[in-house]
Structures are given as C-alpha cells and as structure tokens.
Chain A
Amino acid sequence: MMLDKRMSAAEIVAQIRDGMTVGIGGWGPRRKPMALVRELLRSDVKDLTVVAYGGADVGMLCAAGKVKKLVFAFVSLDAIPLEPWFRKAREGGKLEVLEVDEGMFQWGLKAAAFQLPFLPTRVGLGTDLAELGGLKTVQSPYADGETLIAMPALKLDVALVHVNRSDWRGNVQVYGPDVYYDEWFAKAAQKTFVSCEELVDRMEDHYPEHAQANLFERCFVSGVVEMHCGAHPSSMPPHYGWDMKAFKAYAGAAKDPGDWDAVKDRFVGASEAQYLESNGGKEAVAALPLPIF
C-alpha cells in the first residue's frame, strides 16, 4: 500500500474555487506551471487573488478576467520586458494590487510557511510601498528600538508548481540551475499541486542518486500530474528553454484590438494535447535552446 497522489489537471483545477488565493511558482518566463495555468484558463473559476513572480501566467489570467487582486514585485517576459496583457489590465484600472519588493515577496511566503502573521524587514522603508500597500511598521522590543516594516504573511489556499520529476507520493526532484522560490510557495500553501515532466511510481527505484534535488518534502504536496512540456512557453532547464517565438506571438496579440477571447485558442487551446500539437509537439519543445542571459 502506498500513497498515491496522482490526479488529472482537471481534478487539480477543480480544487480551486472562486475567490481563492493562488500562488504560482517560477519566475517571469522561467519554470512556470503553464499547463496547469492553461487548465485554469479553461475553467470557470474567477475572482482569484494571484501571488506570483509574474510572467505570462499572470498576463493570461489577467487577460481572461480571472484576477481580482494581484500580489507582485514585477511582471515580465525578460526579453519582452513589459508583459503586455498585464499592462492592459493595469492601465484599464481593473486590478487590485499589492506591490512588494522581490525580497519582501519571498519573506511573505516564509511568514506564511512558518504560520507567522508577518516577518520584519527594513525593505520598503523610504519608498511608496508601505503607503500604497497599507503595510504597517513594528518597533523592535530590544534596546535598538528599530522601526521595521511588517511584511504580512502571503498565505496561499493553493500553490501550483512545475518540477522536473515526481513520484506518485509527491517525492519531487527539482534540478534546474535556479529553483527560485518554489519551495516557499509549496510551504506557504494549504494545498500544493505539482505538475512534472516525468512521473515515476517509486522515486527510490528510479533516481535514488538524485535525492538532494528533493527541494521540498512530500508532506507539502497534495497532488501530482505528469505534464510533458508543462512549462511551455516558459523555460524548464535542463529539458528546454523558453519559446521566444511563442512569447512574441502572445505579446503581439495584445496589440489592437487585443481581444483575449478572439486569440485565447492560440495560447490556451481546447486541451493540453491540442495545445502541444499546435506548438510543434514534444520534439519541437525539447529542441528549444536554453536561454542566454
């Protein structure tokens, strides 16, 4: 008898209900759980609070009108610095936002992971962040008496993360050159759902020599699904780089009239199989070169 956390993408998305706070792992156009985001885009879920180091995940969810509030430090596609669909949503006055510094962001995830109401930081002092975001200060109770910003816990109902490997029980292996803050998304959430490039039955029977790549423990994983090319068009080293051609098409579609409903089929698709097929299939994605910085 073993734990079996396998689910379908649709079953995972069915766990996300209107009004929930959803954290999305990865960073800009890198390591994004895009297949799960696409499944979310195929659903009727709305009024989400999205917490992300944003890329096209945030842009698409904004374009589709699913985001009530966004917690962010940036939204960017790197080579396309300004995420056009996010930009449209902001300039349309449609989003509530909590804008924080990149470091404060991970600090808020850590506060949530440790079940603390906040963690203190100097970051944000001297800027407009506290005033715009309603962030409060605290005073050190020790002799220094320092005034610090209390970065509130970013508690997530659900986190979505894309990893290199997992087994049925949720023993993940994450081994890109940079794993960003996926560990803290997983720990900050009530439930974390993981998509993976490769799913195996028992990790110890297949990749025991890579146990150090177990970025977070399986108690933080509620469900797993195998999604080949599940980060496309974002990068997933070492399997594939980002798809700049796809990003350019996506960014171009935001220009006039920039109607998401008219173009979403190209970027979401009716199913993941159809999406992958229309992007050249597994072989084409596997051939995308790793990005140069």
Chain B
Amino acid sequence: MTQVTLTELCIFAASEAFRGNGEIVATGVGPVPRLGASLAKLTHSPELMMTDGECYLVEQPVPIGPRAYDDRKPAGHLPFSRFFDSAVWTGRRHAMVTPTQIDRFGQINLSYMGGTYQQPKTQMLGVRGFPGNTIYHPNSFFFPAHSPRVFVPGEVDMISGAGYNPAKRVAGGNYSGVDLRTIVTNLCVIDFGGKDAEGNRAMRVVSLHPGVTFDEVQEATGFALELAEDVAQTPLPGAEALEIIARLDPHGIRASVIKDNPPALRG
C-alpha cells in the first residue's frame, strides 16, 4: 500500500470542517478544500449541497481536473446570477478558501500587498466575495505552506473579509453572521475557540499533524497561538476515505498542492 500523503491528511481534516453543517452549500475553492467538501458529502454528511464548480448543483461530487463537460449530473441549478439570493446572503453556505494573508483576528486579504492602495506593490485578485461571505455565513481556510508571510503579525494589508477585530466594528452593525470555523494547514488544525487578553475570540491549535510540535507551529506564525488543552494528533484518513479521494482526483492533482508532496508520517 502506498503511503498516505500529508495532502490526503489535510483533505481528511478539511472534510471534518463540513461535518453536521446541515443542508447548506459546501464550497471548497482549490483542490484540498474541494476534495474535503466532496469527501464529507460522500461519507458523514450526505445532506450537504454543492456545485460542479460552475453552476449546477450535483448530488454526486464532480472529480477535479480534466473530464468531459457533460460528465457532471445536474440535480439542481445554482448559477452566480442567483448565488447571493440563494446561498450567500441567506447564510446557507460554508466556504473553505485560501486567502493570501490572515491575521490573529481572522481577518483575511485577497486584494493587494505592500505599497499603497493607490499604488500597490502587488495587486492580487481583488476582494471577490470575501466581504459578503464573512459577514453572512461560516468560513474555513486551507493553507498549504504555514508561515509568518501567511499568518501575518499585526493585521493583513487589506481587510477583505471580516474577522473578530473589535476595532473594525461600527456601533449598531450586525456581526452575528461572522463565523470562522476551521483552519487546516500543512502543520496543524486551528479553530477560533481561544480567547485573547481582551476577551476576543482567538486562534487555538486543536490538532497537530503527526511529528509536528506546537513550537514549530508557533514559529511559523506571526502572532501568539493558543494550544487546546486536549490537543490531539490529526487523524489519518482510513482506506475508505483514501479510495474516495483517489476517485475524486483521478489525475493526481493533489500531489502538487504541498511542496515535495511529503508523506503524512514524517520519516
């Protein structure tokens, strides 16, 4: 049997973020989040809804990578033209995405880095749907290379998605929809179950991947993390999960997600 890879462990951890979410649209952007959401639907959470990545709702998750256009079997329709009405602004969605930066408040950035807003050093995509996603429905994140360049000290360069920063809240604003759930990285799994000195929700390491220490995670993070009392080792996917992952990624795209595609168990 081939070795379980670290990416497969991350996919398995990502699928747990979607457990028990109910009848909502599970959106995974990028190979690991998408395979995680699909794995959740095919195992513990069949009630999840998801699209083919374009606009059709599918009950059978669509494999990633090249395929025939008509391979997906639509059971419903959720085009962008209805996406905010149906999924985002009704809160019936949980997205797992990969922003360029995240800070200790869970604020995320996809817009630009460095320079000024008038003249950015690096222009990226723009905020896309992050502001609406973060104010309306649960969000989780995946980062393939945990580092202080991603988990930045201070605050992100441009706050594209709302977090738990009290300084960014206006009187009378309704922030009840801000619900940051799970962060899966190449080192660990984090939630927002911690509390900082001011009583704000803060990041907490809930499981460490096999062979990873908390010190290693802390060193790769630009701000102080908490460690859960009952911190566990991130579980390895079993044979059934691995078979499903392989079926959903027939071209092996997952091998290129984490640098050098290391095994889950450090040798």
Contacts and interface: CB of A to CB of B under 8 A. Distances in A.
Interface of A: 27, 54, 72-76, 81-82, 86-87, 90-93, 97, 99-104, 106-107, 122-129, 132, 137, 139, 145-148, 177-181, 183, 289-293
Interface string B71-105: 00000010111011000110000000000000000
Contact of B127 (A81, A127, A145): A127
Given A106-B84, A147-B173, A290-B69, A127 B162 contact: yes
A126 B162 contact: yes
Nearest to A140: B172
A91 B122 contact: yes
B54 interface: yes
Residue of A100, A126, A129, A178 contacting most chain B CB atoms (<10 Å): A126
Contact of A82 (B88, B123, B162): B123
19 contacts: A72-B126, A73-B128, A74-B125, A81-B125, A90-B123, A93-B118, A101-B128, A103-B84, A103-B88, A107-B84, A123-B136, A127-B168, A128-B160, A132-B158, A139-B172, A146-B172, A147-B170, A179-B79, A180-B79
Contact of B162 (A72, A107, A125, A289): A125
Contacts of B116: 93
Interface in B147-199: 158-163, 165, 168-175, 177-178
A192 to B, nearest CB: 17
Q: How large is the interface on B (under 10, 10 to 19, 20 to 34, 35 or more residues)?
A: 35 or more
Contacts of A73: 126-129
A179 B81 contact: yes
B25 interface: no
A16 B216 CA distance: 59
B135 A125 contact: yes
A244 B84 CA distance: 28
A74 B129 CA distance: 9
Chain B at the A interface: mostly helix, strand, loop or mixed? Answer: loop
A81 B110 CA distance: 12
B128 to A, nearest CB: 5
Given A91-B121, A122-B136, A292 B69 contact: yes
A157 to B, nearest CB: 23
A39 B189 CA distance: 52
Nearest to B74: A177
Given A124-B131, A179-B81, 4 more contacts: A102-B128, A125-B175, A127-B130, A127-B160
A54 B217 CA distance: 38
Contacts of A107: 84
A10 to B, nearest CB: 31
B132 A104 contact: yes
B100 to A, nearest CB: 11
B235 interface: no
Contacts of A92: 119
Contact of B131 (A87, A129, A137, A290): A129
B120 interface: yes
B169 A126 contact: yes
A75 B126 CA distance: 7
B44 interface: no
Contacts of A126: 107, 131, 134-135, 159, 161-163, 165, 168-169, 173, 175, 178
B112 interface: yes
B161 A127 contact: yes
A132 B117 contact: yes
Nearest to B34: A293
Contacts of B168: 126-127
B81 A101 contact: no
A181 to B, nearest CB: 6
Nearest to B135: A122
B210 to A, nearest CB: 32
